[in-house]
């Protein structure tokens, strides 16, 4: 199977490319630079926001499936780039479909939903509260409208809280690592009581690869564990596993008003694809 991966040099993309290659796929890895992409992939240094003339689908190798993971400033939820880039993402994917693409998988996010308490499934109403969530939500709605009449199967891969490869993920785990390296003995923290659906990036890469290598299950698919864990428990486990000489200072920062006390993904559809 020939898979085009956009954002292949990104935090998650590199792991997905490696996983697909290990499964025997032919991978076309596309990004502005590809210096950290597995050398077994066919690498294309390509700017999706500057589309050349011609059939973009053919120019990018006529893949069986396009896994669109490219996205700027994913960790900066209120960056102006999210809305500014929205049309470019839409133009790229619609051009691929117009050229002949029959299967499209797109990286989504639980931030499309906004504030919600409990499990999220494909029918959960969306009311995003960040520019990142708003842009992803708009793109999802637009692509479902576009793919159906054009007979392109769409898999919207809704992801949650990702950890692993921690020096490159710009999360709280990265910040704790940096603080420990600087010799700090304490780290200012919230109450840590909020519960989230955490998943390791390598495990997520396996899930994504299994989802896109089948076509029986499609639409919105939660790519997660389905098991909420408190932020405090997850961070403390991280500190222990890394044997860091640093302690959390609980209650220094208030919990964010827009964060749910407990939010996680319903994995009913995913269980039809992978064994959790």
User: How many other CB atoms are found less than 10 A from the CB of residue 160?
Assistant: 22
Angle at 169 between CA 165 and CA 175, to 5 degrees: 100
The string of DSSP codes covering 68-96 is E---S-TT-TT-THHHHHHHHHHHHHHHH
User: How many other CB atoms are found less than 10 A from the CB of residue 27?
Assistant: 27
Query: Beta strands of 61-171 (E only): which ranges?
Result: 65-68, 103-109, 118-120, 153-159, 161-163
CB neighbours of 24 closer than 8 A, spacing ≥ 6? none
132 catalytically annotated: yes
CB neighbours of 247 closer than 8 A, spacing ≥ 6? 185, 186, 187
Take residue 126 and report the two structure tokens written for it: 């969306």
Catalytic residue among 11, 57, 132, 264: 132
Residue 25 near residue 8, CB atoms below 8 Å: no
Residue 27 near residue 21, CB atoms below 8 Å: yes
Helix (H) or strand (E) holding 178: helix 172-181
Which active-site residues does the annotation give?
132
């Amino acid at each position: 199977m020939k898979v085009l991966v956009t954002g292949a040099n990104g935090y998650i993309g590199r792991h997905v490319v490696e996983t697909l290659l290990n499964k025997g796929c032919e991978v076309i890895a596309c990004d502005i630079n590809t210096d950290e992409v597995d050398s077994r992939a066919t690498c294309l240094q390509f700017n999706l926001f500057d589309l050349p003339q011609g059939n973009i689908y053919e120019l990018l190798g006529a893949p069986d499936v396009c896994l669109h993971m490219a996205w700027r400033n994913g960790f900066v939820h209120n960056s102006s780039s999210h809305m500014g880039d929205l049309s470019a993402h839409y133009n790229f994917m619609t051009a691929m479909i117009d050229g002949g693409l029959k299967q499209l998988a797109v990286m989504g996010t639980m931030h499309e939903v906004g504030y919600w308490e409990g499990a999220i499934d494909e029918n959960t109403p969306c009311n995003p509260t960040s520019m990142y969530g708003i842009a992803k939500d708009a793109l999802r709605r637009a692509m479902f409208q576009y793919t159906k009449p054009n007979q392109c199967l769409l898999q919207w891969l809704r992801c949650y809280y990702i950890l692993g490869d921690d020096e490159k993920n710009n999360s709280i785990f990265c910040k704790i690592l940096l603080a420990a390296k600087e010799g700090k003995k304490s780290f200012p923290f919230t109450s840590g009581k909020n519960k989230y659906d955490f998943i390791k990036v390598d495990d997520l890469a396996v899930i994504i690869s299994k989802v896109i290598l089948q076509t029986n299950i499609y639409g919105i698919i939660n790519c997660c564990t389905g098991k909420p864990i408190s932020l405090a428990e997850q961070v403390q486990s991280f500190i222990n596993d890394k044997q860091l000489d640093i302690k959390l200072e609980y209650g220094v920062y208030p919990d964010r008003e827009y964060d749910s006390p407990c939010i996680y993904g319903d994995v009913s559809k995913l269980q039809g694809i992978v064994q959790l």
